[in-house]
Structure formats: structure tokens, C-alpha cells
Amino acid sequence: MAARTTSRPARSKATARPPRRRRVLKVDHHRRWRPRSRKGGRCGYTLDGKTCTRSGAHYCEPRADRVVAFFAELLVHPAGAWANHAFVLAPWQEHEIIRPLFGEVIFSEQWGRYVRRYSRATIVMARKNGKSALLSGILLYLLCGDGEESAEVYGAAATTRQAGKVFEPAVKMVKKSPVLAARLQHIKNARRLVDEHSGSHYEVIPADADTELGHNPHGFVLDEVLSQRDDGLWKAMRTAAGARAQALMLAITTETSDGTSFGAEFIDEADRVMEDPARAPHHFAYVRKMPRTVEELERLWRLFPARPELPVSCDPWDERNWAWPNPGLGQFLSITSLREEAEEARASLSAENGFRQFRLNQRVSQVTRWLSMDLWDANAREIAPTPSWARERLAGERCWGGLDLSSKLDLTAWALLFTDGSVLWRFWAPESVAGVLDEHTGGKFSEWARDGWITLTDGDVIDYDRIYADVDDDHDTFVITDVTYDKWTGEPVRQEIEKQTGLTLVESNTTYDRMTPPMKEFEKRLKAREYGHFGNPVARWMADSVQKKSPRDDPDRLRPVKPDRDKSGVRIDGIPALLFAQDGAMRGRPVESVYETRGLATVGGEAE
């Protein structure tokens, strides 16, 4: 197919560049992570004499230039301090959102050309950072600047009024741009912008997905995901976009206060993708949240080294920490206004919660994600090709066991923690759950079972005889000191395991008192790279899903939170099992001698 050549959009005479100094953000877009795909020949996309000569999955600079020029030369800021000034993107808007979102491309064998790599985007940041204007500009580009015939572009939110907060700035932009005003027609009663030139339209739709299943969207924006009751609208629009070559589904939101909501699940997934882009190469994630814990702060320092706007602590009142969740601070958001709100928030718990959620983009909830996957992956040591590979190497070694039993209708986990930090797992589940969990893992659950990482037993219930036999086999293979188990679910199984193996089983539970010590120890050893899980894929899936909970008045106490199995489709059983084993290992330590910390007391002074 011939290389595509395009020209820069005509400049609107109504625009004027605001007289401001812009912070230089140095970004090498060609070094961004991308799939290692070499499909496709020379790109050849040309804009204003600049031609992209790259091939395979790459960053196409002329394509990104086109979108940046669309904003600067056709659009104006619709309101606020920058009203009527040319929409020259701020450095963070241009280099961290627009250029990667529209410049990253892959070759599509279906369409025979290069298309945008990202079909989904999630932007999570605090309020009043210019998101409505940015979204309006993106929607207008998709409507009339993207070269898509008969493009259908939609905006939605929990209420039509909320969706109008993005549509109305777009209408103002059109009216203030002679070029767009001459091309687009505003149908006020229908809340619709129409481009008769390409047969395209942009309109606001209600949040009721059941009545909106006839769409073929080229672009869709869901504003404030935290307000959505469920994923019905998102799924309806996501599945309707398959007929477009490069449809873009974009969601933008502030953090939620409900850790079990659809919004929380949506935000957590974006957070994981930001941490590990290979998890979903089609998903663009821009997440800016003020860390609540030292662990979250250290994670940011690892993911974004040497960024000057990174938080320096977890103190919500330290102004040095405000820029990260508020990238528009000083441009769209007044620092004076933020200071005033902070002073009010100090005097009221409810005001503090609002300040943390909407100004610092923190989840005001006792439940948060626990483990950073970059640290988890750093503790692999070696990647085991098969489940038996590590078992053979550890035969005869001393270890502690942990057993987390589910109901007989679901998954059960067994973990062994060795003296050198190596960890082995066994997982059992009735074959009836495989189909359900395949839906939530992209078919990986059955793959793990075929490869031997999970043992599926016939029927709808777990075969406990198989569990007893496997535990007995491990007892013969390793030197198991003792086994810690959850007393709330495991008494009959405990009796049978002790009877068949002679192992000592110690009861525990997942309360704050029992879980805080092993979880703290686990965090410490994980940071020190003292574990070796050998890349167990099932355990990684669970580690990526586990959340922690702390009492509101004592954040240092911890316990893992098990998900709603029916709603979430995730499992974490392998992590509590490991924590039980860690608990046993801590009990097995020799008591620290007072002389190790105080020294030897002697008459007349201290020993040398």
C-alpha cells in the first residue's frame, strides 16, 4: 500500500499563543516500551515534508506531530485563565499523553497498513487539571482530524449532565475556531456535532448500555469511571468497536473511595499496565496518584527515576508532593486554591478525605493493592521450565508449609518456604471452575493446568484424597518442619493430614494480629530480594491481585483481603498460604539473645 501523505491542518486566525514559559520535558519517545514486532515495511507516513522511515512496531513522529498541530492551530482553550488562547499543549499533555497515545503504531495484517497501537486508554489524575478541555480536543480530532469516514464518536458519564461537561467545551472550541465552525454543525437539542464532509458525528449518550447496542464507535470517552455502577456501558462500547481499524476507547477518572467497585477494578488495572506495559500492549495508562505508603512511594521512585515532580514523602500537607497527582498545578490548578483547601482539610476528617481523594488522587479506603510486581519479578531468581524442575533441586531441604483451604467448590493452595527463601506451591481446583477462571485470565488458567502448575480434579468438588496424597509426597521429598493453616476452614483436613502424614499442623487465621508480622516480614524480604519463586505463573497472578487492609486508626497493622470470588474472577489463595508458611518460619527462629543487642554486662562497666 502506498505511503500515506497528509498536510498540516489550517491554522485558525482566532488563536493566539499565550505568553508563557514552558517547562522543558525531555522525552525520547523512541525508547518507550513496545512489542518486539517487525511486521510491516517502511512506515512512510509524511507530514509537512517529514517522513517516518521506521518499520515494525514504532513511534511515528509525523503522526504525533499532526495531533499536536491540530490542538495548537485549530483549537483554543474554552475557559479559565487560558480562555481564547491557542491550545498549545503543556509538556506533560504533549509528551506523556498525546504523543505516545497517537504516535505509537503497529502493522495490521487485517487492514494492510500501520494503525495506532493503543485501542484503549485510561487517564487517572486529580480533578481540575484541564482534563475536560484535553478530552474535548481528543474527541474533536477523532471526529474530523483522524481521516476516518463516517466516524461515530461518543461521550458518556454516569449522568448526561456529567457527559455534557466534556461536550460543552468541545462546542465552545468549535465556535471559536473559524475552520471548525465552518465545517461542523452543532445540533443543540440532540447534543450532537456533525461533520457532513466525512459523514461523522460526535454526541453525548446516556449511561444505560442496554439501549445503546447499535453503535460502531471510532472514539468513545467515559468520564469519571468512579461514578459508574458497573462495566455494562464500557463493555457495550468496547465490543462494538471491532469494525474500526483504529478505534480508541478512552476512560478518565479520579480515584474512587470504594475499593470493591468497577471503578476501583478499572483503576487498578491501569496501575498494573503502567507498571508492566507488556501486560496489555494495546492499553495506554497514565496514572498519577499521591502514594499512601512508603512502599507505594518507593515503587514510584523505581518506575520513574529522576523525575523532579515525584513525591518526596507520603505527607499530604507537604506541597512538594502535590505536583505528581496534579500535573496541571500552576497552569490549570491554582496553588493558592490548593493551599486553602489543604488548610480546611486539616481541621475536618471529612474534608481531609475529600482533599485526599479529589486533590491528591488517593483511594480513601482501608483496602489497597499490596504488592508491586516489579519487586515480585525481581525475586524469581530463575524461571522454572516445569513445576518439577525446582522441586528436584530442593529435594531433602528444610522448609515450612502453609495451607489455605477454600470451599470444596473452589481453589486450594499449599506453599512451602525453604530456609534459602525458595518457595514452591501446589494448587488444586475442581475442573468445573476452569471455564469461569479462563474468562478472567484469557484462557491461561487451563494452560497452567495443562502445564502442571494446577491440579484439576474431576467433577464439581475438590478431591481431598488427591490433596492428602500430594502433601504426603512432599513430606517424603522435603524436610517439612510444620504446617500452618487457617483454622476457620481446615479442621477436618487438618485431622486427616496429621493422621496420614504425621506432620504437625499449627492453626492460624487472617486477622490483623496473626497476619501483620508475616506480611511485614514478607515486605522486608521481598525488597531485599531474598525470595525465589522461580516464576510460578499462578502465584504471580495471585500476587498481582492481592489487596491489603489496615484499620483506619492504625495503618501499620495489615491483613490480606480475599476478593469476592463470584464478582472479581481472581484468586489469591497462594499468597495467604505463603504467609502462613512465613509465619511458621518466624516461629522457628531461635530466640534472639539479649547479649546480641546489649552486650555483656560486667562489674564496673561494659564488655568490649
Distance, CA of 113 to CA of 41 (rounded, Å): 9
Assess if residue 602 is contained within a domain.
no
In terms of domains, do 272 and 419 share one? no
Distance, CA of 149 to CA of 140 (rounded, Å): 14
Q: What is the pLDDT of residues 87-119, one digit of tens each?
A: 999 999 999 999 999 999 999 999 999 999 999
In terms of domains, do 87 and 199 share one? yes
The single-letter code of the amino acid at 309 is E
Distance, CA of 60 to CA of 106 (rounded, Å): 10
Q: What is the pLDDT of residues 555-591, one digit of tens each?
A: 788 999 876 655 567 889 999 999 999 999 998 665 4
In terms of domains, do 282 and 384 share one? no
Domains in the chain, number: 2
In terms of domains, do 246 and 383 share one? no
The single-letter code of the amino acid at 538 is V
pLDDT at 16 over 90: no
In terms of domains, do 285 and 377 share one? no
Q: Which residues pair with 480 in a beta bridge?
A: 399
In terms of domains, do 272 and 387 share one? no
pLDDT at 257 over 90: no
Under 8 Å between Cβ of 446 and 438: yes
For position 260, what pLDDT does the model report?
67
**What is the 3-state secondary structure of 83-116?**
ECCECCCCHHHHHHHHHHHHHEEEEECCCCEEEE
Nearest to 70 by CA among 82, 86, 81: 86
Other C-beta atoms closer than 10 Å to the C-beta of 230 total 12
Assess if residue 263 is contained within a domain.
yes
Nearest to 261 by CA among 236, 237, 226, 222: 226
Assess if residue 606 is contained within a domain.
no
Under 8 Å between Cβ of 372 and 295: yes
Among 155-164, 326-335, 418-427, 554-563, the minimum mean pLDDT is found in: 155-164
Distance, CA of 547 to CA of 441 (rounded, Å): 18
In terms of domains, do 503 and 387 share one? yes
In terms of domains, do 439 and 329 share one? no
Domain of residue 441, residue span: 373-587
Q: Is 528 exposed, middle or buried (0-12, 13-18, 19+ CB in 10 A)?
A: exposed
In terms of domains, do 545 and 478 share one? yes
In terms of domains, do 402 and 278 share one? no
Q: What is the pLDDT of residues 399-445, one digit of tens each?
A: 999 999 876 667 899 999 999 999 999 999 999 989 889 888 888 99
**Among 333, 365, 398, residue at a domain's last position:** 333
User: Strand runs (DSSP E) across 431-515, as ranges?
Assistant: 455-457, 479-486, 505-508
Largest CA distance in the chain: 98
Assess if residue 347 is contained within a domain.
no
Assess if residue 298 is contained within a domain.
no
* The three grid cell numbers given for residue 293, joined into one nine-digit string: 505508603
Assess if residue 605 is contained within a domain.
no
